């Protein structure tokens, strides 16, 4: 959620420019309530400029994960989430 808010804040500052930040979120949520909160937040007008600024693609693996990583300019890993080895950092 911190990254979603960062996109909203940055885009507010870029509103008068042609630049747009776009965030693709991959992975699973801890529970249905968390996912519902996320979906409500990304549907708000400040994250809907010229189309959605945040998209959720769920769990991805294999070629799709590789494609998403290649098409991205930045990787953000939610450090509040438990990850025993940090495989996502190695993959990125």
List, for residues 38-58, the tens digit of each pLDDT value.
999 999 999 998 889 999 999
Q: Which residue's structure tokens are 């309530």?
A: 33
Whole-structure pTM value: 0.82
Least confident of 19-28, 29-38, 43-52, 79-88: 79-88
Q: What is the Cα–Cα distance from 56 to 58, expressed in whole angstroms?
A: 6
- Residue 24 sits at φ, ψ, to 5 deg, of -110, 125
Mean pLDDT score, 63-90: 80
The pLDDT value given to residue 81: 63
The residue length of the chain stands at: 92
* pLDDT, greater one: 45 or 86: 45
Three-class DSSP category at 60: coil
Which DSSP category does 55 fall into?
Answer: E
């Amino acid at each position: 959620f911190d990254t979603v808010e960062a996109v909203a804040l940055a885009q507010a500052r870029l509103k008068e420019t042609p630049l747009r930040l776009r965030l693709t979120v991959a992975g699973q949520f801890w529970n249905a309530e968390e996912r519902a909160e996320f979906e409500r937040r990304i549907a708000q007008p400040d994250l809907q400029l010229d189309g959605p600024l945040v998209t959720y693609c769920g769990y991805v693996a294999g070629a799709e994960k590789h494609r998403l990583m290649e098409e991205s300019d930045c990787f953000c890993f939610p450090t509040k989430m438990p990850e025993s080895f940090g495989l996502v950092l190695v993959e990125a």
